[in-house]
Structure 1
Amino acid sequence: MARSNRREAGRRRLAMRLPQMRKLIMAACEPLQLELFEAYQMAVEARDTLRGQPFNSKLVRESDETCFEIEQHVIRAIQEPSFAQRTR
């Protein structure tokens, strides 16, 4: 999947996952936010691939945790304008 497609897929997925922030997510355009959208999509794709394989419950759990952590970063990046400046 191309980078811009991955970003937009991650954006849409996060908008569904975090409905209270949907409008802000859809309007986001900061580079850090876009990178987080892409990272989220990649993490979800990896998790979904692992879910389809037997005996990977530990890896699926770790992938779920990664997805959750990225969600928390997205929330901070959108709610706190200074968060983007601190992470650069």
Structure 2
Amino acid sequence: MARSNRREAGRRRLAMRLPHMRTLIMAACDPLQLKLFEAYQMAVEARDSVRRRRFNPNLVREYDETCLVIERHVIRAMQEPSYAQRTS
């Protein structure tokens, strides 16, 4: 999947996952936020791939945790405008 497609897929997935932030997520254009969307999609794709193969439940759990961590970063990036500046 191309980078921009992955970013937009991550954006849409996060908008569904975090409905209380949907409007902010869909309007986001900060480079850090866009990177988070892309990273989220990549983590979800990797988790789903490992899950389909059913050979390592611990790895699935690790990817689930990674997705949750990225979700927390997205929430902070949406709520705190200065968060993006501090982490870039």
Aligned length: 88
Structure 2 spans left out of the alignment, 5+ residues: none
5 Å-filtered alignment, 1:1-88, equals 1-88=1-88
TM-score, normalization: structure 1? 0.98
1:46-81: CA deviations, max 9, x gaps?
000010112310000000000000000000001000
TM-score, normalization: structure 2? 0.98
Matched position secondary structure for 2:54: coil
Between stretches 69-78 and 50-59, larger displacement belongs to 50-59
Between stretches 22-31 and 49-58, larger displacement belongs to 49-58
**Identity within the alignment, %:** 80
1:7-63: CA deviations, max 9, x gaps?
000000000000000000000000000000000000000000010112310000000
Give the distance between the partners of 2:23 and 2:4, measured in 1 at CA.
19
Runs of 4+ in 1 over 4 A off after TM superposition: none
Give the distance between the partners of 2:31 and 2:54, measured in 1 at CA.
37
RMSD: 0.6
Structure 1 spans left out of the alignment, 5+ residues: none
